[in-house]
Amino acid sequence: MTLPDLPVRWSRPRNQLASLSIVLGLASVAVVFWRWIPIIGLVFSVAAIIVAIPAVVTGHIALQRARDLSGEGRGLALAGLVSGYFTMAFALIMPVVSAVLFVIGAAGFAHDNLPDWLTYFERLWSEVTGSA
């Protein structure tokens, strides 16, 4: 008894972690740009970092697997790594930049308005104490 000639199916090995890395990386980029919402922006920055860390980890593992699979998924893994690292850098640097800009703005506001406040308090003090 002989078996009929069946078509042989050959499937190319896939690097599924590379696909997961790019999906997580792009999701983290999408989340980090919501950080400009005034009150809950810091929550979005933290959420973006939480999503970016697995993107970076899976990207590094996918790059190692890509070497074994003759380059399969290397581009996706690199894109996931780049987007993950970009998100982490952006989410960590932007609160510092925002704080510095706030301090600069507050210093400028105080410089412009402090003399007016001081003269107001001097007048108020002279009225309260009765000195002229």
Q: What are phi and psi of 72, to 5 degrees?
A: -65, 120
Residue 107 domain-assigned (yes or no): yes
Encode the chain (132 residues) as per-residue pLDDT tens digits. 666 777 777 666 688 999 999 999 999 999 888 877 777 878 888 899 999 999 999 999 999 999 888 888 899 999 999 999 999 999 888 888 888 888 888 888 877 777 777 788 888 888 888 775
**Res 7: pLDDT:** 76
Residue 3 domain-assigned (yes or no): no
Residue 4 domain-assigned (yes or no): no
- B/e letters for 17-37, b = 16+ CB within 10 Å, e = fewer, are bbbbbbbbbbbbbebbeebee
**Res 77: pLDDT:** 93
**Res 13: pLDDT:** 65
**Res 3: pLDDT:** 65
Secondary structure element (H or E) that encloses residue 87, with its range? helix 74-129
Residue 7 domain-assigned (yes or no): no
The contacts of residue 50 (CB under 8 Å, 6+ apart) are none
Residue 67 domain-assigned (yes or no): yes
- Domain range for 101: 16-129
**Res 60: pLDDT:** 95
CA distances from 45 to 3, 17, 35, 49 (A): 61, 24, 6, 6
Of 14, 11, 47, nearest to 31 by C-alpha is 47
Looking up tokens 């894109």 gives 79
Q: How many structural domains are present in the chain? A: 1
Residue 68 domain-assigned (yes or no): yes
Asked if residues 83 and 29 have their Cβ atoms less than 8 Å apart, the reply is: yes
Residue 57 domain-assigned (yes or no): yes
